[in-house]
Amino acid sequence: MAHKVVVKGTRDGLLIVLPSEAPWNELVRVLGDQLDAAREFWSGSASQVDVGGHGLDEHQIKRLQEMLNKRYQLQLTAVFSKDSRTRTIAKQMGLTTEVEAAPEVEAAPTRNYQNNALYLRQTLRSGQSLRHEGSVVICGDVNPGGEVIATGDIVVLGTLRGVAHAGAKGDESAQITAINLRPTQLRIAGYIARSPDHGDPPLTYHPEYAWVSGGEIHIAPLRNRNLIG
């Protein structure tokens, strides 16, 4: 069974979340595979790693630090862990171990995503998960088993066959657009739409978009966007 590693773009760089229930060496391998898939995109970023409940010694943290730096030019700046000994060792190595308190968020969602858009020139493969605070533009495909979650809009300049969740913090005005919109599941805010059970319709190679109106998700050709209220 493949273990899901979450790689999330944030204002501080890259946040990597590793599940507690998976073997550590297996997680490092999966993380390497996932970073390899978008090596050029992530290169040079600061990185924070949440190791969950894993208890790591200095050697393991150094190995992780060296892998991120030498293979991907990622600077490890923080290690978050539920294990107190791991936090102590990381702090002794000069790494941050506490998540900075986030400012309070107003209840009403905002649309100020244009200054925090994420552009990815890469296909998302099965098992890969991309999460971002803002809007996401993917120049490539999202394969079945791939997942994109954004607090803003999602635009796929290719075929979307995986899962896409726009407006993930409750923004019902968020939209999902793709050259070929053939998702396993679409979500906008708290609304969900799934593909029909009888399989994918034929590829049309014209852009379509999804939006919420009247308490449900609608899909229409992008050329009709200005005609729909």
State whether 120 and 178 are in the same domain. Answer: yes
- Tally of structural domains, the chain: 2
State whether 140 and 207 are in the same domain. Answer: yes
State whether 127 and 212 are in the same domain. Answer: yes
Residue 161 belongs to domain with CATH number: 2.160.20.70
Domain that holds residue 46: 6-92
State whether 145 and 88 are in the same domain. Answer: no
State whether 77 and 135 are in the same domain. Answer: no
Domain boundary among 92, 107, 125: 92
Q: What is the 3-state secondary structure (H, E, C) of 82-114?
A: CCHHHHHHHHHCCCECCCCCCCCCCCCCCCCCH
With contact defined as beta carbons under 8 Å apart, do 133 and 149 qualify?
no
pLDDT in tens, the chain (229 residues): 456 787 766 656 678 889 888 899 998 988 888 777 655 555 667 889 999 999 999 999 999 999 999 888 888 999 999 999 999 999 999 999 986 543 333 333 444 444 578 888 889 998 888 989 889 999 999 999 999 999 999 999 999 999 999 998 888 899 999 999 999 899 998 888 865 444 455 455 678 999 998 888 999 888 766 544 4
Task: Count Cβ atoms below 10 Å from residue 151 Cβ, excluding itself.
Answer: 22
Letter string b/e over residues 83-114, b meaning 16 or more CB atoms within 10 A of that residue's CB: beebbebbeeeebbbeeeeeeeeeeebeeebe
Pairing of strands 136-138, 13-17: unpaired
Determine the residue type at 152: G
Residue 30 belongs to domain with CATH number: 3.30.750
Task: Give the tens place of pLDDT for each residue, 182-225.
Answer: 998 999 988 888 654 444 554 556 789 999 988 889 998 887 66
Secondary structure (3-state) at 19? coil
Amino acid 178: pLDDT? 94
Secondary structure (3-state) at 61? helix
State whether 159 and 208 are in the same domain. Answer: yes
State whether 129 and 212 are in the same domain. Answer: yes
At which residue do the structure tokens 């060496």 appear?
Answer: 25
Residue 108 belongs to a domain: no
Amino acid 160: pLDDT? 94
- pTM comes to 0.51
